[in-house]
Structure 1
Amino acid sequence: MIGIVLVTHGQLAEEFLYALEHIVGKQTNIEAIGIQAEDDMEKRRRDISQAIKNVEDGDGVVLLTDMFGGTPSNLAISLMSENSVEVVAGINLPMLIQLMRSRQTHKLKDAALDAADAGRKYISVASKILNDRKK
């Protein structure tokens, strides 16, 4: 099973994990790490590396981050070469739920791509959807 580490600004990672488990129940092989402005970034990089080891069981790890180019994403990307790791930036709940579904059956890269596709699919402007239905 593919492991998952959520890496975000502030407490967002922990809140995503809480919301996920509210919807689909308790999960294994998943950890959440929040990055604070005052954190020692080298220590946080080591924390992410340890979290990868904690959730890895041989199928790789997907790191979900909140924003490409932000510190959490940059820290995650810096660990890609050391491990069997994919980084997907722009986390949202549909992305995370899809990853939970595909992590037991898909290869690492395919699971990451499916998660990104699900994340994009569920970004919507309600008025556009409702107006399109009226036509």
Structure 2
Amino acid sequence: METSILLVTHDGVGDSLLYTAKKLLSSSLDECIDSYAISYDCVPTEEVVKLRQRCEELDKGAGVLLLTDLYGATPSNVAMQLKGDTNRWLVGGLNLSMLLKVLNYRHLEGEALALKAYEGGRDSVIKLW
């Protein structure tokens, strides 16, 4: 049983990252991976309820790893409300490298997969000048 993955992002970001990852990996992404867009004019308390419900739908028994795009922004703040829920792991700063790392380590369980997400995002930041 694999940990489900939910990208919690501003409008369009998660869908774009999933589309690109699918093209780069030349594979389809299963039903245990999805994105959840939070609009700029949302009501955060309502989004917490909807996001919790989406996690319950996506969870196939091994929990859900939530990847958010920008720490401190609304998607991240909404996702943080689920941090205390059972089998929910949260990593901020989502980028393509992080997502690809997670998809390549799908066999890992929740906390180990969350650590791979963190490492994938962190290790992709490189000084180029």
TM-score by length of 2: 0.89
- Establish whether residue 5 from structure 1 lines up as the match of residue 6 from structure 2: yes
Aligned length: 126
Letter in 2 for 1:16: L
Identify the match of residue 109 of structure 1 among 99, 108, 111: 111
Deviations 1:27-52 (A, max 9, x none): 11011111112123233222211221
Structure 1 unmatched runs, 5+: 128-135
The structure richer in helix per residue is 1
- Percent same amino acid among aligned pairs? 29
Name the residue aligned to 1:16.
17
Report if aligned partners of 1:31, 1:51 keep a CA contact under 8 Å in 2: no
Letter in 1 for 2:20: A
Report if aligned partners of 1:6, 1:31 keep a CA contact under 8 Å in 2: yes
- Runs (4+) of structure 1 exceeding 4 A deviation are none
Name the residue aligned to 1:83.
86
The two structures, once aligned, show a CA RMSD in angstroms of: 1.4
- Higher gyration radius (CA): 1
Report if aligned partners of 1:95, 1:119 keep a CA contact under 8 Å in 2: yes
Q: Distance in 2 between matches of 1:52 and 1:68?
A: 19
Q: Secondary structure at the match of 2:8?
A: strand
